[in-house]
Structure 1
Amino acid sequence: MLFTYDTEVALSSAAALINTAREDVDPLDTLEGLDRFLEEQRFSGSRTHTTAELESVRALRAELEVIWFAEEDDAVGSVNAILRRSNALPQLVRHDEWDWHLHATAPEAPLEERMATEAAMALADVIRGHELDRLHSCAAEDCDGVVLDLSRNRSKRFCDTGNCANRTHVRAYRARKASSA
């Protein structure tokens, strides 16, 4: 494990959130889509179930994407801005099926604030570990998804949004077969 489990979960959720913008039909176009996303990512805490909440999560998605591709100094400024905005106060908590982990907002805080703070805390770990190169774009020519590379040898090249690796490998195999024929 490169990072603590809660950091890896928060980073994976941030990548999944960013990648929702790359799907053919944006799952965050509706409140029901946001509900499904939050359930898949196992987010807990209070919800307003309003259009304003949905729009704030969509705005967070764009903000996290900028951080994902930022240079270190710019990423630090953006992460610090999120933590200031949410009045982050890290605390150890244990709930549901999760063992001890950090939360920096109250469970009653607005959804976007909780999501932003979790992502910012995880990104702070990435920055402190000088591991920003683990956040990059999918290597598939026809995909602009983001990749979180948690592999030991830093070899993950494709996103988790679809079959990018499979499509790329099949395309290369067919090209090799065509050129040898």
Structure 2
Amino acid sequence: MLINHDIRCALDRVVHLVNSAPQIQGRERLGDVAALRGFVAQHKVSEVAGLDQGDVGAVQAIRARFTEVFTAPDDATAVSVLNAMIAEAGTTPRLTDHDGYAWHVHYFSPGASLAAHLAADCGMAVAFLVITGERERLRRCEAPTCRRAFVDLSRNRSRRYCDSRTCGNRLHVAAYRARRREAEGAGQPEQQEQQEQAERTARGPEPAEA
């Protein structure tokens, strides 16, 4: 699947946004202005003016909409959420080559708030997955104790965990230990019988009854 740099960056922002919710992390990760500034800096979000507490609530509301898209049961439901979110953001597609990047498209309006910026640009990136028949790449980690979101960009759509080095390894280790316990449990009766047979052989034949 061919995804250009801009779409990949936008999808990374969506994943970070969805995973910042307290239901996922155990606590709110975007709960204040400082956290928003960190998000903007980490993802190099351009054309963001001053942020205040109002932006915090607005971004959290957009996060809830993207979460709906990840959990949507079908394309029609996801499209309904995306269409509403993108329309409310007031998209204004335009070409730009800011900060030395090659020409690319910005969908958010000039002077847009951070929430509108994310709704427009990230919403269009997710829309790209929908129109190319790839929405199922928006996934949740299959580890029982983890519900983190991720975008499966593997060639055969085979990724199951948010991080194979953590969640994936933990499940593989747990499955291996379960198989060992099962094998050891199944082998115990046979081992006990062999031990009893060895003890009978060592004692020799039983004396005949008078």
TM-score, normalised on structure 1?
0.90
| Residue number among 112, 117, 129 corresponding to 2:115 in the alignment | 112
- Alignment deviations for residues 120-175 of structure 1 (CA, whole Å, 9 cap, x no partner): 11111111101111112111011111121011110111115982222222222222
The structural deviation recorded for 1:96 is: 2.3
2:20 aligned with 1:37: no
Larger Cα-atom Rg = 2
> Residue type matched to 2:25 in 1?
E
Q: Name the residue aligned to 1:6.
A: 6
8 A contact 2:15–2:150 mirrored in 1: yes
CA distance in 1 between partners of 2:158 and 2:118 (Å) = 28
Q: How does 1:64-143 map to 2 (within 5 A)?
A: 64-70=66-72, 71-96=74-99, 98-143=101-146
CA distance in 2 between partners of 1:168 and 1:47 (Å) = 44
Report the aligned-residue RMSD: 1.9
Higher helix share: 2
TM-score, normalised on structure 2?
0.79
5+ residue gaps, structure 2 = 185-210
Q: 1:169 to 1:76 in 2, by over 3 A?
A: same
5+ residue gaps, structure 1 = none
Q: Name the residue aligned to 2:27.
A: 25
**Higher RCO by CA contacts (8 Å cutoff, separation 6 or greater):** 1
How many residues align? The count is 181
Secondary structure of the structure 2 residue equivalent to 1:28: coil
Deviation >4 Å, runs of 4+: none
Q: Name the residue aligned to 1:148.
A: 151
